[in-house]
Amino acid sequence: MESHMDPIADHSTRGIVQAGPGKMKYKLSRYDPAERLRTFVQHYWVVEWDLRGQEPYRQTVLSHPNVNLVIERGNTRIYGIWEKTSTQVLQGKGRVFAVKFNPGGFYPFWRKPLSNLTRQSLAIEDVFGTEALTLEEDILSRDDVGSQVERMNRFLLERLPEQPDDNVELLNEIVATLVSDHGILRVEQLASRFSLGARTIQRLFDKYVGVSPKGVIQRFRLHEVTERIEKGENVDWVQLSHDMGYYDQAHFIRDFKAIMDKSPEEYVRETRL
């Protein structure tokens, strides 16, 4: 079989804000797509919960720079990137099956600048046609996740773009570099690494990713900060601000609060209650 039916070994909760309490409320699993889809799809993810008899649970998320196709009963949609945190409310019993596209991986299916989808969502038929309207029931009626993965593989494989787009592979490499190299803090550094002009990088991100390269760099670095806080590490905010490329702590705090809707100190207090 082309796809890996066991959950992916990496169970990082990076991007899930204050993830600890959520582990008691829902189960998150990730699955590899078929080999031929890996240029376009990072992974499939499944969230399952049973909160019958309990209060609804609110989970805050600082999303990654990825488009997601979320299959949820009565609310299947394709979501662009949210530049701030968003909150999902879980109640009753339910399951969501989703496709997390690689940064740049959704563009070949939509063929429009991804900046048009930032802070927006689309009905599935707006991208994949009316024949996609049966996918929600087809996926969610299956109790076996392996069967769901195989069905989604077939759906996307049947719609693979006919012509390859080298920019998708390039964007995959650029974003992977941002994840692995914590020393890249400015667009100019990124452009130099790939022997491209800063404006070329910016145009690529606008078209294929949906947010600026600066915004993606900032998001990954914030993921690192919140993960350190969640692990209970003591944070030297002055040093951290410098390490993240800020001239002073005040500018770091301003950007943190703009995205997280709270100051770093408030986030620490809430996380360690």
Full DSSP string of 90-125:
E-SEEEEEEEEEPTTTSHHHH-S-GGGGTT-EEETH
C-alpha–C-alpha distance, residues 102 and 40, integer Å: 5
Q: What is the pLDDT of residues 2-56, one digit of tens each?
A: 334 444 434 344 456 555 556 778 888 999 999 999 999 999 999 999 999 999 9
153 with 3: CB under 8 angstroms?
A: yes
Residue 176 token pair: 């992977």
Tell me: the pLDDT tens digits for 202-212? 999 999 999 99
Most confident of 32-46, 87-101, 168-182: 32-46
Residue 170: its pLDDT value, please? 95
Task: State residue 244's pLDDT score.
Answer: 74
Q: Which residue has the tokens 């990730």?
A: 30
Q: What is the pTM of this model?
A: 0.85
